[in-house]
Structure 1
Amino acid sequence: MSLHTADERTVLEGLLDAQRTEIALLLDELDDAEARTRLVSSMTTVLGLVKHATFVEKVWFHSRVAGVPREDLRLPRTPAESFELAEDDTIESVRADYDDACDRSRVVAAQHDLDETWPWHDGPVSLRYLYGHMIAELARHAGHGDILVEQFIARRPVGTD
């Protein structure tokens, strides 16, 4: 079945999974040093973007929808802190955490209807909204990451990419 003609839930899940894949692919063309390198004045690095994407998966699906307290998930207090890298963060470890978070998010979401809602500081939020929010969030960060990856590739000698 094509996403172009699928039912609403299949479309939303398919679009979200496409963005999840784009986030994971950011790490494919870099080594650990490049993935940790800051090219902009903010804390943003390619590895940090993937770590942040793990954070948003856990905040929304694991905590908000599944009801696991944020402390139990050992989440950073703020979104900005979710970009911070630990000494032992590597492409392999951050990707594994991200893949695990996405897998858990899929399991959590599958147990709920699109119209089901959860409290949020701006009022109730539905699973339908959450899918849309996550698609936009991950697409934005995948774009940021694409630009950073392009910068690394552009710096390499011709024929090494």
Structure 2
Amino acid sequence: MSDITVPSPLTEPARVDPPMAADERTMLSSWLDWHRATVRRKCAGLAPEHVGASPLPASPLMTVGGIVSHLRWVEAYWFDTVMLNQPDRAPYSPEDPDAEFRVGAQRPLAELLDEYDAQCARSREITARLELGTTARKARPNPTLRWVLLHMIEETARHNGHLDVVRELADGVTGK
């Protein structure tokens, strides 16, 4: 797996490129870690007043804070809840399925990123203990760990694209 430094949200973190050739577990884990590190890069240097900014009129929940919060809870859901059948502790509910986005828009970015990093570390520990073919203990039909890793790569990459747009509209910063 990749060694990724965890800087403050005001600095741009290093990102370790995935290997060009490796076994399946290393490839999946490395690509997911690369996209996880990209989340922090997208947030580096963001002013506090932009964390909850909602620059897309048709998507008021799309804020930097909301996206980071969502990614934290998506990690928890797939690795803790689905793979290990642990209780779902996320702030959303059937009555308010988007609560993590609202909560995230109101919280300090440094706290959100620290919680995201802690959840990613937990997800890495779970991944290290299970075989890629291990089936989920909760969901039906039961996805495998391999499926969950691929889904998390897709989910995190897609939301990095959202972070690109929201960040550019909030303060003009592009790339990273």
Q: TM-score, normalised by structure 2?
A: 0.79
Equivalent pair of 2:90/2:100 in contact (CA under 8 Å): no
Higher relative contact order, chain-length normalized (CA < 8 Å, sep 6+): 1
8 Å contact kept, 1:114–1:127: yes
Name 1:15's counterpart in structure 2: 31
Distance 1:82 1:74 in 2: 7
For residues 91-110 of structure 1, the aligned pairs below 5 Å read 91-110=109-128
Which segments of 5 or more consecutive residues in structure 2 lack a partner in the other structure? Answer: 2-17
1:29–1:149 CA contact under 8 A, matched in 2: no
Matched with 1:159 is none
Query: What does residue 120 of structure 1 align with?
Result: 139
Equivalent residue in structure 2 for 1:53, among 62, 67, 71: 71
SS in 2 for 1:51: helix
Counterpart for residue 38 of structure 1? 54
Q: Distance in 2 between matches of 1:97 and 1:12?
A: 22
What is the deviation of 1:147? 1.2
Separation in 1, partners of 2:120, 2:172: 31
Cα distance in 2 for residues equivalent to 1:31 and 1:60: 31
Contact 2:66 2:104 in 1 (8 A): no
TM-superposed CA distance for 1:88, in Å, is 5.8
Other structure's SS at 1:117 match: coil
Unaligned runs of 5+ in 1: 156-161
Aligned position for 2:10: none
Bigger shift: residues 81-90 or 127-136? 81-90
Aligned pair 1:154/2:175, yes or no?
no
RMSD in angstroms over aligned alpha carbons? 2.1
Aligned 8 A contact 1:27 1:47 in 2: no
Out of 20, 23, 26, the position equivalent to 1:4 is 20
Alignment partner, residue 62 of structure 1: 80
**Identity among equivalent pairs (%):** 30
Q: Which letter does structure 1 place at the counterpart of 2:124?
A: R
Instruction: Give structure 1 regions of 4+ aligned residues with deviation exceeding 6 angstroms.
Output: none
Shift of 1:89: 1.0
- Normalization by structure 1: what TM-score? 0.86
1:111 to 117, 120, 129: 129
